[in-house]
Structure 1
Amino acid sequence: MNRVQNKVALVTGGASGIGLSASNLLAKEGAKVVIADFNIDGAKEAAEALVKEGYEASAIFLDAGDAKSIEDAVNFTVEQYGTLTVLFNNVGLTNLQKDLDVLNIDLDEWDRLVNVNLKSVLLGSRFAIPHMQKAGGGSIINTASMAGFASDQLRTAYGATKAGVVNMTKYIATQYGKDKIRSNAIAPGLILTPAAERNMPKEMQDIFMKFNALPYHGEADDIGHAVVFLASDESKFMTGQTLQIEGGHYLANPTIADTNNWIASLQK
């Protein structure tokens, strides 16, 4: 308990999934939390639920594709709680209908994903860093993805932007480390948030399970707990890193699942 006591956190995309988990866990560990989301009703509901439990939380509308909206969220956080010491840049978009292979990708969709997935991380950090400098330090946490490390047949823009998040995380860490501002990222694998369960067919979930080292899928709290760690002083000597939290999906030679099945067939 109280691992982030007296810290002030802004969580973007905080109304659902990973962002909601991080918002709840940060608040319950002592932080004052602003939940920023395009879904303002969901953000308000999440903040109100925390307040009813005795924690400190507020909500604000956020359009991560709009610079002024991002700046407003940062300013609102400082106005509400006097400072900003933790920023969780968590907004990310993907679109399997338009974000296709290199020959067929919708170029407008490319621009939209670069703006929302990558530029929002730049802008959130740009607006937050001066407040962290005044506070004597802070922690910036960015949601990357295993798509930033491993390629796929689709989601070209998504993967490229998430790779950009990984590298931008290092640049922020290098440029502002002497101000005691740390910058780290988290690269989730398949996390079965409610949205993922609704949108991903069971057959696709089973394919992921086949190649996991662990016999289960990830949950939102698996990422939320990592956010608390990176926000806390427990990680005070850690910066510029990306935690790959993906159940060992990318750990082994990709043939291992089929090889195991082949060996099992020989033993029958």
Structure 2
Amino acid sequence: MRRVENKVALLTGSASGIGLSTARLMAKEGAKVVIADFNLEGAQQAAEEIRTQGGEAVGIFIDAADSKTIEEAVEFTVHHYGKINVLFNNVGLTNLQKDLDVVNIDLDEWDRLLNVNLKSVLMGSRLAIPHMIEAGGGSIINTASMAGFYGDAIRAAYGASKAGVINLTRYIATQYGKNKIRCNAVAPGLILTPAAKRNMDPEVLDIFEKYNALPYHGEADDIGYTVLFLASDESKFITGQTIQVEGGHYMGNPSSPDFREYMNKAKTEGQV
């Protein structure tokens, strides 16, 4: 049997990147997937692609800043497929021009990012949980970020919102575990989605790779496979966790790559 056979999954923010990878993998493994995205045309195209490959999928609109559309997405999923077993809260925004340090951050942007990145997770879960209870349980997976664990020079709102996602994940897991509902999160590091490949300067990518423990960057499927695992019964005794999928970027002493370069140079020069 395939890994998520006969499960119904609502995936938000899934017309591209990590969400699209997850939708494809879940459909391939037997799930009926609802791809919800602000980009309706992209969501419908993604669903059509999945159907042409033998999967079952439908694309719908969602605006994570508007709780009404989140409610409509949940209700559509239940009406269309009869139940909801998996919810992947994957919508997330960042803004490098306005989401700055604490003194200089645009306060309207703070409110916007907390609403989209955190409140949408609350609302999606709040609305899906009663249906999951009726279905006998379910799995909620939230997209967090390594920014939720560590500080940075900018993106204070983004980091705070993702830290909130990490802890909200624990609260949902604690409050609804007895109803056979599991809730976990995935915290990606830098992932080479098509958007990242288009928009990130190669020098920036080289900096990130320098500090990875592994000698390469992550791909969208690396997150997709992790979400698939958390959606499946293979992870039935895992809840309240945030799995860090970041190539070991944050694992070691931050000075390790520079110290390694220093030692290699010293060896070359015969100093050690």
Pairwise TM-score range, normalised by the shorter structure: over 0.9
- Structure 2 equivalent of residue 263 of structure 1: 263
- Give runs of ≥4 in structure 1 deviating > 4 Å: none
Q: Aligned partners of 2:165, 2:200: CA distance in 1, in Å?
A: 24
- Structure 2 equivalent of residue 108 of structure 1: 108
Determine helix, strand or coil for the equivalent of 1:229: helix
Q: Aligned partners of 2:49, 2:13: CA distance in 1, in Å?
A: 17
State the Cα deviation string for residues 177-200 of structure 1 (Å, max 9, x = none): 000000000000000001011121
- Structure 2 equivalent of residue 34 of structure 1: 34
- Structure 1 equivalent of residue 95 of structure 2: 95
Q: Aligned partners of 1:199, 1:49: CA distance in 2, in Å?
A: 25
The amino acid across from 1:261 in the alignment is E
The normalised TM-score by structure 2 is 0.98
The Cα shift of 1:53 comes to 1.3
CA RMSD of aligned residues (A): 0.6
Correspondence 1:236 to 2:236: yes
Correspondence 1:146 to 2:146: yes
Q: What stretches of structure 2 of length at least 5 have no aligned partner?
A: none
The amino acid across from 2:31 in the alignment is A
Q: Aligned partners of 2:215, 2:97: CA distance in 1, in Å?
A: 30
Q: Aligned partners of 2:121, 2:166: CA distance in 1, in Å?
A: 11
The Cα shift of 1:69 comes to 0.3
Correspondence 1:129 to 2:140: no
Range with greater deviation from structure 2 (50-59 or 138-147): 50-59
Q: Aligned partners of 1:199, 1:147: CA distance in 2, in Å?
A: 19
Q: Aligned partners of 1:187, 1:50: CA distance in 2, in Å?
A: 26
The normalised TM-score by structure 1 is 0.99
> Where do 1:82-231 residues align within 5 Å?
82-231=82-231
Alignment length (residue pairs)? 268
Q: Aligned partners of 1:55, 1:204: CA distance in 2, in Å?
A: 37
Q: Aligned partners of 1:196, 1:53: CA distance in 2, in Å?
A: 26
Q: Aligned partners of 1:36, 1:262: CA distance in 2, in Å?
A: 49
Determine helix, strand or coil for the equivalent of 1:267: helix
Q: Aligned partners of 2:169, 2:50: CA distance in 1, in Å?
A: 30
% identical equivalent positions: 71
Q: Aligned partners of 2:82, 2:182: CA distance in 1, in Å?
A: 20
